[in-house]
Amino acid sequence: MTTRLAGRRILITGASRGLGAAVAASFAAEGAHLALTATTRDHLAPVIRDIGETGREALALGVDLRDPTAIAAAARETLAGLGGLDVIVVNAGLLGYRGPLLDCPPGVWDDVLAVTVDGTFHLLRALVPEMEDGGAIILVTSGAAGRPDWGAYGVSRAALNAQAAMLRAELEDRDIRVVAVNPGPARTQMRADAYPDEDPQTVPEPAELTGAFLAIAAGGDPGPFVEIPEWRARTESSAS
């Protein structure tokens, strides 16, 4: 059994399904000590069960990322439960609405920005000072960042890219690698909501997209921004 992440203490947000659940499973298989978040602990039960069947354990945290007080409590529980922190994967986010920016309903705008932008800020503000030097922060972004007709989602992902770029420079003296990762198309519920007419069989399963996450968490630094389809093509080409 490979253990590239043996001893690494890792928090993954939005881990109850889709890409977050796939990354959690791959990290557990590589020996990581995990804390996983979702809006409720119950949503994480299948993921925790599957990890348990492999002989690993994970800490389940229910947290509303719109609530700074809940985020602070989850940060404390993460640090206490893992005994420290080496890697953060920020995967949680909302699609909310796909359409022209100024047609976005105000309530949807508020929720999407509160979870993806504000939630990320408050989470990192609580955890990064306690992280080990030499760790990594992975922010899951999207090719929809800043693109027209993606409403608050496009704005929120552009904001994540900006946060990643700023933090990468600001944390360089601690050797904390900050990488924005665009997974590209994936067979997730969010993708289905965004592209209701797409055949899901034409896009990869999330489990096929975890290699770049593993490489970064294990100590690699592919640069400030990674497009997983391009990363997979390069790694598969070099392996052949």
Percent of the residues in the chain that have a pLDDT greater than 90, as a whole number: 92
Prediction pTM value: 0.96
Q: Which residues are catalytic?
A: 153
Residue bearing tokens 């989470």: 123
Mean pLDDT of 2-15: 93
CA distance 156 to 160: 6
Residue 234's pLDDT is: 87
Q: Which of 54, 76, 52, 50 has the alpha carbon at shortest distance from 63?
A: 76
What's the pLDDT band for 240 if we cut at 50, 70, 90?
A: low
What's the topology of domain 9-239? Rossmann fold (3.40.50)
217-234 pLDDT, tens per residue? 999 999 999 999 998 888
25-84 pLDDT, tens per residue? 999 999 999 999 999 999 999 999 999 998 889 999 999 999 999 999 999 999 999 999
| Average pLDDT of the chain, as a whole number | 95
CA distance 119 to 42: 20
79-109 pLDDT, tens per residue? 999 999 999 999 999 999 899 999 999 999 9
Q: What is the DSSP letter of 132?
A: P
Strands 225-227 and 87-90, bridge-based pairing = unpaired
* Residue 34 CB burial class (10 angstroms; 0-12, 13-18, ≥19): buried
Residue extents of the structural domains in the chain:
9-239
Q: Of all helices (H) and strands (E), which one includes residue 225?
A: strand 225-227
What's the pLDDT band for 1 if we cut at 50, 70, 90?
A: low
Q: Of all helices (H) and strands (E), which one includes residue 227?
A: strand 225-227
Q: What is the DSSP letter of 3?
A: -
Question: How many CB atoms are closer than 10 A to CB 224?
Answer: 15
Residue 238's pLDDT is: 73
Of residues 97 and 112, more confidently modeled: 112
* Contacts for 163 with CB less than 8 Å, ≥ 6 apart: 117, 120, 121, 124, 139
